[in-house]
Amino acid sequence: MVPSGLGASGNYEIVVFGVLMMLLLHRASSGLAPVLARWAIRPHRRHIALEAPALARRSQPAAGAPLLEVRNAAKRFGGLVAVHELSFEIRAGEILGLIGPNGAGKSTMFNLITGVLPADGGEIVFQGERIDGLVPSAIARRGIARTFQHVNLVGTMSVLENVALGAHLRGRRGTLRAMLRAERAEEAQLLAEAARQVERVGLTAQLHDAAGSLPLGQQRLVEIARALSADPTLLLLDEPAAGLRYAEKQALAALLRRLRGEAMSILLVEHDMEFVMGLVDRLVVMDFGEKLAEGLPAAVQANPAVMEAYLGGVE
């Protein structure tokens, strides 16, 4: 007994038990089962992530070909008009910036493109096919992937596991085979694809770290890697530089330029004008749900209406 060992009387067992419980709650707030599962699974996943064959890749359109066309898109929330008769297009192999003040309708437009919200009017055409009216999974299968304005990761899962979630639509085995654990070969391929995308964004050293333990800049890179695991033709990024330090923004810009060089098309929503102006090929400016201006960054930056509504005379 603890008291006899210390030569005193008292409820030392309760004190020691309390300290142990505090340590347990600090190190394993979700319980011991997830910790034990990670220890058991991690060596296996490290192995398969290195050796499994690559998944098939979708063919990319020729540079400059029309990719996404938004035609008079509209969205209303009761009496609030969030998007009104908005039209623009993005061509294959370019980075298009979608900018505007808070509440301009940019994230709503992202949700219309990805099927999260139904459009109240207009058309959205991707590679010659109308996608407005399709469910999000069907749109994702056609080659559109996105990140979110606020980081949306499973913090207790590893970087590898979070990124692998983005590749699940590329699997073919189904729920029953997964329940029977008969999809090991496909699981290995999906994890291998996730490991390749983690390497693509420069986070190989953090492959098996808990995603929630990473700094914000690296968490945003994990989200991009997760989107890339879906093998998209068009990547939608919703404020990827928000909250990042200068060096992290420079690294993010370098990654996006590298992706463009690999024939990736990117639609970017961002408030940091210095970041945007040095990165995008063209800009579309929204204000109160409508298109205020469109064109090359220098021309948009010099537009008096844009300067008044959003840029505030940024040079």
pLDDT score, position 227: 95
* Chain segment 98-127, per-residue pLDDT in tens: 998 888 899 999 999 999 999 999 999 999
Rounded CA-CA distance 114/105 in Å is 14
Q: Does residue 5 form part of some domain? A: no
CA distances to 131, 254, 269, 277 from 137, rounded to whole Å, are 11, 30, 22, 32
The lowest-confidence range among 6-15, 65-74, 152-161, 241-250 is 6-15
Q: Does residue 4 form part of some domain? A: no
For 119-136, the three-class secondary structure string (H helix, E strand, C coil) is CCEEEEEECCEECCCCCH
pLDDT score, position 31: 64
Question: Which is nearest to 124 in space by CA: 295, 116, 104?
Answer: 116
Choose between 170 and 2: higher pLDDT. 170
Rounded CA-CA distance 3/17 in Å is 13
Q: Structural domain of residue 232, as residue ranges? A: 12-311
Q: What is the CATH number of the domain that holds 209?
A: 3.40.50.300
Phi, psi of 102 (to 5 degrees): -55, 135
pTM of the model: 0.78
Non-local (6+) Cβ contacts of 147 within 8 A are 220, 223, 224, 226, 227, 236, 237, 238, 240
Q: Does residue 244 form part of some domain? A: yes
Choose between 170 and 202: higher pLDDT. 202
The lowest-confidence range among 141-155, 171-185, 262-276 is 171-185
CB 217 within 8 A of CB 248: yes
Q: Other CB atoms closer than 10 Å to residue 104's CB: what's the count?
A: 23
pLDDT score, position 313: 45
Rounded CA-CA distance 201/224 in Å is 8
Total domains present in the chain = 1
Confidence bin at 235 (pLDDT 50/70/90): very high
Rounded CA-CA distance 76/288 in Å is 12
pLDDT score, position 189: 86
* Chain segment 23-75, per-residue pLDDT in tens: 777 766 666 655 565 555 555 445 444 567 777 788 888 888 999 999 999 99
* Chain segment 197-229, per-residue pLDDT in tens: 999 999 999 999 999 999 999 999 999 999 999
Choose between 235 and 10: higher pLDDT. 235
Token pair 């390497």 is at which residue?
A: 199
Average pLDDT over residues 150-158: 89
* Share above pLDDT 90 across residues of the chain, in percent, rounded to a whole number: 54
pLDDT score, position 209: 92
Measured in whole angstroms, the distance separating CA 177 from the mean position of its chain's CA atoms is 28
Structure tokens at 102: 């808070």
* Chain segment 270-287, per-residue pLDDT in tens: 988 889 998 999 999 999
- 39-59 residues labelled b (16+ CB within 10 A) or e (exposed): eeeeeebeebbeebeebeeee
Average pLDDT over residues 4-17: 66
Phi, psi of 144 (to 5 degrees): -115, 125
Confidence bin at 314 (pLDDT 50/70/90): very low
Rounded CA-CA distance 57/15 in Å is 58
The three-state secondary structure class of 202 is coil
Q: Other CB atoms closer than 10 Å to residue 284's CB: what's the count?
A: 25
| H or E, element range at 67 | strand 66-77
Burial class of residue 304 in the structure, from the number of CB atoms within 10 Å of its CB (0-12 exposed, 13-18 middle, 19+ buried): exposed
Q: Does residue 3 form part of some domain? A: no
Question: Which is nearest to 315 in space by CA: 289, 297, 293, 295?
Answer: 297
Q: Does residue 1 form part of some domain? A: no
Whether pLDDT at 315 is above 50: no
CB 224 within 8 A of CB 147: yes
Q: Does residue 7 form part of some domain? A: no
pLDDT score, position 7: 55
pLDDT score, position 48: 45
Q: Does residue 100 form part of some domain? A: yes
